Amino acid sequence: MNPLLINGSAGIPLTIIAKQDFEQWLSKQATSLQNWLEATQFSAKGLSLIPDSDGQISQVIYVTDKPDAYWVCGDIINQLPANKYLLSASDAQCRVAAFSWALGAYKFDRYKKNDKQYPQLVIDNPDIVASTLQLVRSVSIVRDLVNTPAADMMPQHLAEVMQQLADEFGGKVQQIVGDDLLKQNYPTIHMVGRASDNLPRLIDLTWGDENAPKVTLVGKGVCFDSGGLDLKPGSGMRLMKKDMGGAAHVIGLAHQIMAAKLPVRLRVLVPAVENAVSANAFRPGDVIKTRKGLTVEIDNTDAEGRLVLCDALAEASNDRPDLLIDFATLTGAMRVALGTELPGFFSNDDTVAAEITAAGLKVEDPVWRMPLYKPYYDLTGSDIADLANCGKTPFGGAITAALYLEAFVDEGISWSHFDIMAWNNRALPGRPIGGEAFGLRAVFEYLQQRFAS
């Protein structure tokens, strides 16, 4: 496939016009162009391809309500014939147009060939082209990982992806696999993954100057979730290849951090398992002693994500990072609260929470802070253990899950937890049905503002 974005100064002119400015723009155009738009009954909305005297496309106009919106070009790349189109606009508009243009062509084509020839967007700014392609690749990494069927995206495959990233950017990956998890005191990761032939593991990627500020990312890597012995119904299991969406997010975010060379000491922890059913599967009523030393009673084997995360968060706390962020496809309760397209997050740091929220609004990647309402912590209690892995009521389920996780983060560490869908249920411009990155751009924008400015 030809590159979707090109640095240069030659191509068919593409002009993006705000709808409220269209009449003023039109009044300044040649009579022949005005006649063409009138003859084609152009409604001052969407695309118009304007020919020259030879019948070739001389220019393209695109009229939209919001020319500076991040997804402004998410559809038009699929509407234009293959050619080179030169966008002349402000740097800010070029940046958002280029981003949505490139992601508008996204197709998951690992199993179904895509021979379509896409038009190319030409921008006369090499920095915008390069940085946009980095960001597009980060989002595409998330989408590709989530879209890949579980048979081809098990713990060992996640480890391969992380190793490839480390090799590309000069990082380092270590793994603790199978029964070694017990020897090195990661009992809950082992417990959840032990029923699968695909060995559970903790994948640990590090990169950057050891003396730089420490940023640690933790991602839920449940590569397929059957529900365990508390087996999901078929409808609930159908999309569980996406239950490693948290891992996909931190891998995609790690790519963006390393590609942008942020001055941080990055650590990425992915507890990767398959929650399968076998004779040695963990059971409702079992009690496990976690890495942190807290005991947890298993109320439901389908609440496995917080189990693998709690050992990883305990390990992440050992380094006392300046910033600890986890991503997880954790609860249906969050989807009930906010729907599937608005990711909720929790934070014990008011300043970080406010700045991430503001960063998300700036780059049109909105995130919504949810409350760590301390009185609900009692709902995670157990009669025979320190905690249960499910709340005593379905109400406030996203909050009780977050409070459970917070118990494994040491005091004084700035921690934020994203509970995400990782999937588009409907097609929107630049966002096809399937795997999706939610909150990635918001968090990266925040990290860039905090550490690179």
Residue (of 262, 251, 168) closest to 212 by Cα position: 262
Strand 214-219 versus strand 221-225 pairing type: unpaired
Termini Cα distance of the chain: 36
Torsional class of 170: left (φ above 0), alpha (ψ -120 to 50), beta (otherwise): left
Calpha distance 311→79 (Å, rounded): 48
Residue by residue, DSSP assigns 78-126 as GTSPSSEEEE---HHHHHHHHHHHHHHT----SSS---PPPPEEEES-H
Q: Is 112 a catalytic residue?
A: no
Query: Under 8 Å CB-to-CB from 392, ≥6 apart: which residues?
Result: 379, 380, 381
Q: Which two tokens stand for residue 334?
A: 């969050």
Per residue, what are the HEC states of 146-168?
Answer: HHCCHHHCCHHHHHHHHHHHHHH
Angle of helix 245-259 relative to helix 155-169, nearest 10 degrees, comes to 10
Calpha distance 443→253 (Å, rounded): 8
Q: Is 306 a catalytic residue?
A: yes
Q: Which two tokens stand for residue 253?
A: 């975010």
Q: What totals of helices (H) and strands (E) does the chain contain, helices first?
A: 14, 20
CB atoms < 10 A from the CB of 375, how many?
A: 8
Calpha distance 38→33 (Å, rounded): 9
Q: Which two tokens stand for residue 40?
A: 């084609």
Q: In 3-state terms, what secondary structure has residue 267?
A: strand
Please give the single-letter amino acid code of residue 191: M
Q: Which two tokens stand for residue 142?
A: 């998330």
Residue (of 438, 431, 442, 435) closest to 74 by Cα position: 431
Q: Choosing from 143, 214, 306, 431, which is the catalytic residue?
A: 306
Query: Under 8 Å CB-to-CB from 87, ≥6 apart: which residues?
Result: 14, 16, 93, 94, 97, 98, 121, 122, 123
Contact by Cβ (8 Å): 31, 78:
no
Q: Which residues are catalytic?
A: 232, 306
